[in-house]
Structure 1
């Protein structure tokens, strides 16, 4: 399988999940501004949406959207236990978090990355802060859904890692800070970040 990624972008989340699951992926870097792959190809021919991640499967099919990709990867290696069993309430709790991170946190960063006006950026920072405060208030264990790492943690870690560059003050979130430090120490996270040149 081949993962199309941009260093530190939301594609880091499925990259982390693959590393945690012990799944070897071929990596192909994408320039998000030019929509060109590292091999000189037109990325929009792979993913017409133009953004990462995209996962090209062995048969040539392409799966897009990070929350779908991380679920797919977890199901390829069920022994890694990165997602609860399908049909259980715990499974839907993970989906609940994936959707919240995607629609509320991730999307709120957009003006901070793509030349939003000063007012748009300030509004975005406030919205991002409200969302992370919501997470902070609900973190009762080491990870989002309990004592064990799950696929939603990879996504949360990824979007949280954007805060400093986006000018979002993280000082009031001690649980999230401890979570990020715990995540950064995981071998799978370190491997993904090294692969992407982030550390």
Structure 2
């Protein structure tokens, strides 16, 4: 299988999850401005959407959208999911909130100017991170074991640090725990982020 990613994009969550799973996979960076892959290929030939992540499976099928890719990883590597009766539902619930609320709220941060929008986004994001922190009772979102949702949340916490968005101490501690994981260090090094 092959993961198409862009350094520091949300696809870092998939990269970390695949590393955590011990999966055998190739990876190729994508320039999101030119839509060219590191090998010179046209990224639109991989996915008409033109954004990461894109995971090409050994069958040749392509999975896109972070929630879907992370759900697929958890289904193939159950240690990254949640085995409770509503386990998959709870993981999808967390992934959906991270994607549709937190991730989306960062949009103004990636564009020059827009200071008023950025200030408003910081307030919104701080509130959203508080909601997540209120549900955090242990080391990770679903207990003492990492899930694919933690991988995605970690990327959002990295973005929060980059854009000076305040996060609760419990989420800062989660980020520090993630920083110490070998899978995170490998993925970050692969993407040239350390």
The 5-angstrom pairing of residues 100-139 of structure 1 reads: 100-115=97-112, 117-139=114-136
Provide structure 2 residue ranges, at least 5 long, that are not aligned to the other structure.
none
Q: TM-score, normalised by structure 2?
A: 0.94
Q: Distance between the aligned counterparts of 2:85 and 2:152, measured in 1? A: 21
Q: Distance between the aligned counterparts of 2:93 and 2:31, measured in 1? A: 31
Q: TM-score, normalised by structure 1?
A: 0.92
| Alignment check: 8 A CA contact 1:8 1:196 kept | yes
Aligned match of 1:151 in 148, 158, 161?
A: 148
Deviation at 1:134, TM superposition (A): 1.1
Q: Distance between the aligned counterparts of 1:46 and 1:197, measured in 2? A: 23
Deviation at 1:116, TM superposition (A): 6.0
CA RMSD of aligned residues (A): 1.5
Partner in structure 2 of residue 83 of structure 1 = 81
Q: Distance between the aligned counterparts of 1:159 and 1:107, measured in 2? A: 10
Partner in structure 1 of residue 59 of structure 2 = 59
Deviation at 1:115, TM superposition (A): 3.7
| Alignment check: 8 A CA contact 1:113 1:166 kept | no
Deviation at 1:61, TM superposition (A): 1.3
Q: Moved runs in structure 1, 4+ residues, more than 3 A?
A: none
Q: Distance between the aligned counterparts of 2:35 and 2:112, measured in 1? A: 18
